[in-house]
A and B are shown apart, each in its own frame.
Chain A
Amino acid sequence: MSEAIAVGTPKREVSVAVSAVRKRRIKVWSIRAALVVLWLASWEIAATYWIDPFYYSKPSQVWLKLVEWFTQGTSFGSIWANMLVTMEEAVGGFLLGALAGVVLGILLGRSPLLAEICAPFIKAVNAVPRIVLASLFLIWFGLGLQSKVATAFILVFFAVFFNAFQGAREVDRNLINNARILGASRVQVLTTIVVPSATSWILASLHSAFGFALIGAVVGEVVGAEQGLGLLIARSQGNFDTPGIYAGMIVITVLALVAEALLTALEKRLLKWRPPAAHTEVQI
C-alpha cells in the first residue's frame, strides 16, 4: 500500500505527510508523559503532606518495593518465578478457553438446531457469577496450576464464544453460495469462508479475553496458591503492605500490555486484507 502512494504522488508531498504524522505522534506522547508525571507527582506530594501513606502509599514507596522484588526477590521466591507461574496459568487458560470458544462458537453459529438446544444452558452458565467458581476449582483441582487455568478458561471461554458465535452467524450468504458453486464441500466452506469471516469478530474478543485470563489467574491465586502474583498481592494485603499491592498491580499491568501488543501484531497480520482505514483509527 505504501508503495502505491510512493508511486502515485511526488516525493515531497509524501515526506511532508510523513513528518506531519511524526509531529503529531511526538505531541501525543509528550502530553501522555506529562500527564503521568503530573499524576505521580501530585500523589507523592499529597501522600507526603496530607494523606496517610500507610493506607494510600506513595510512588516512591511503590518504586522501592518494585526494586526490592526485582533485586532481592519476594517472600515466595524470585519475582520472575512468580511472574512465570501467573503467565503459565493465564496463557494456559487463554489458549484452551479461546480454542474451545472458537470451536463451539462456530459450531453453534452454523447449526441453528444445536444453537437452539444449547441456548438456555449457555445463558444459565453465563449468568453465574463465574469468578466465584475460582473457589470451587480450588477444591476440585488443588492449590496448583490446574485450578487457575480452570478459572481463566471459564472466563475466556465465554468472552470468545459469544463473538465466535455471532461472527459465524453473520457470514455473508452470498459468499457461502459462491463457494459452494465453485465446488467447496461443507468442510471447505467452513474453513475457507466461515472461519475467515468470523476472524475479525474473534480477534476483537481475544483482546479482552487475555485480560480475563489474567484476572482468572490472579483471582485464582488470591483465593489460594503456592506461588504467583495474586499470592503476592494477597500476602501484601494480609500484612497491610500497601506498596506491595500496587507493585503487584503494576507488574500485572505490564504483562497485560505486553500480551496486548502481541495480540495486536497478530491481528494486523491476520487482517491485512482489510482496508487500512479500519486499523489506523485509535483503538481503545
Chain B
Amino acid sequence: MTAPVIELRSATKRFRSGSGGVHTAVQSLSMTVRPGEFVAVVGPTGCGKSTTLSLVSGLEPPSEGQALVRGENVSGIPEGVGYMFQNDAVMPWRTVLDNVAAGPRFRGASKAEARKRAEIWVDKVGLGKFGGYYPHQLSGGMRKRVALAQTLVNEPEILLMDEPFSALDVQTRALMQDELLRLWSGTGAAVIFVTHDLDEAIALADKVVVMTASPATVKATFEVGLDRPRDVEEIRMTPEFQDVYREIWQSLKEEVDKTRERSSAGV
C-alpha cells in the first residue's frame, strides 16, 4: 500500500467560543488519504468538517496532534494544495478569466501564459462565453464553476472541496458532479470532499468517512467499491449503490439525530 499523502494523527482543534469559553471543533481525529484517492466526508451540520479541511490546508494549526502532508508536518500552506471554500471566494473586482488566471499569476507565470491556461479551464467548466463577465453578472452555479476552474488551473495534487455543490439545483449539481469526476480522473489528485449529501458522497468517492456529532471525530469509514468511470445519475440506480447507502446511512443517522436533539434542547 502506498504511503498516505494526507494524514491526520489524533488532531484536535479548539476555538475560543463567543462567550469566552473554549469550543472543541475537532477531537482527536485520525484519517489518511492515499495519492489519487477520493475521500468523501459526511457528518451533521456544524460538527467540524470545514475545520478538518482547514487543518489539512495549513490555514489553521491543530491545537493538539498532527496534520501531515506527504509525511511532513503542515506549517503554512503545503505545496500543491487546492481548496474550494464553502463560501464564495471569487474576487468580485476581477472578470471570470482574470479570476481563474490568478493562481498561475501568483505562482509566477507570465501574463500571457496565465491567460492561456485560464482560457483552457474556463472552457472546461463550460464558461467559455463568459470570460469577460464580472462575478455579480453570473448565477450562483456559474460562480461555483469559476471557483472550480480557479482551483483546478493550479493542477493541485491535493484537492480539498467544502460542499462545493450544495448551493446548486439538482440538475446542475449532477452535471457538476460528472464534470468533477471527468476533470479529476487521470490527474492522480487526492481529494477530500465534504458534503451533507450522502448520495453525492457515495456517487463520487472511493471511501466515505462518517463524522460524529460535534466535536468531530471519525465514527466509521466505508469503502465504496463501485467501478469507475461512473455516471453519477445511473450509478444511483444500481443495487450495489443502494446497499452501501443503507449501510452508511445507519451510521450517519445516529449522529444527525444527536445533533438535532442537542439543538432542540438548546445546547
Chain A interface (Cβ within 8 Å of chain B)?
A: 1, 4, 172, 174-175, 177-185, 188, 192-193, 196, 199, 271, 273-275
Contact = CB atoms under 8 A, between A and B. Distances in A.
A275 B134 CA distance: 9
Interface stretch (B33-41, B88-96, B179-187, B235-243): B88-96
A104 B22 CA distance: 35
A268 B89 CA distance: 24
B12 to A, nearest CB: 21
Interface residues of B, number: 27
Interface of B: 57, 59, 77, 81-83, 85, 87-95, 102-103, 106-107, 134-137, 150-151, 154
A180 B134 contact: no
Q: Which of A183, A271, A275 has the most CB of B within 10 A?
A: A183
A180 B59 CA distance: 9
A192 B103 CA distance: 11
B81 A196 contact: no
A196 B93 contact: yes
Contact of A273 (B59, B88, B94, B106): B94
A272 B94 CA distance: 10
A199 B57 CA distance: 29
A193 B90 CA distance: 11
Contacts of A274: 92, 136
20 contacts: A4-B137, A174-B85, A174-B88, A174-B89, A177-B83, A178-B85, A178-B90, A178-B150, A179-B91, A179-B102, A180-B59, A181-B77, A183-B106, A185-B106, A192-B91, A192-B102, A193-B91, A196-B91, A196-B93, A274-B92
A182 B106 contact: yes
Contacts of A182: 102-103, 106, 150-151, 154
B134 A175 contact: no
Contacts of B85: 174, 177-178
Contacts of A271: 93
Contact of A275 (B87, B103, B106, B136): B136
A217 to B, nearest CB: 33
Given A185-B106, A275-B136, A180 B91 contact: no
A85 to B, nearest CB: 38
A88 to B, nearest CB: 33
Q: Which of B81, B82, B136 has the most CB of A within 10 A?
A: B136
A4 B107 CA distance: 35
Given A180-B77, A181-B82, A192-B91, 12 more contacts: A174-B88, A177-B85, A177-B89, A178-B83, A179-B106, A181-B57, A181-B81, A183-B103, A188-B106, A273-B92, A273-B95, A273-B135
Nearest to A276: B136
B34 to A, nearest CB: 22
B149 to A, nearest CB: 12
Contacts of B57: 181
A77 to B, nearest CB: 46
B107 A183 contact: yes
Contacts of B150: 178, 182
A174 B106 contact: no
A273 B134 contact: yes
A1 B59 CA distance: 38
B154 to A, nearest CB: 7
A274 B136 CA distance: 7
Nearest to A182: B103
Contacts of A179: 91, 102, 106
B97 to A, nearest CB: 13
Q: Which of B57, B82, B87 has the most CB of A within 10 A?
A: B87
Contacts of A192: 91, 102, 106
A175 B89 CA distance: 5
A177 B106 CA distance: 13
9 nearest A-B residue pairs (beta carbon)? A178-B89, A183-B106, A182-B103, A273-B93, A183-B107, A184-B106, A181-B83, A273-B134, A275-B136
Contacts of B151: 182
A174 B8 CA distance: 23
A108 B89 CA distance: 24
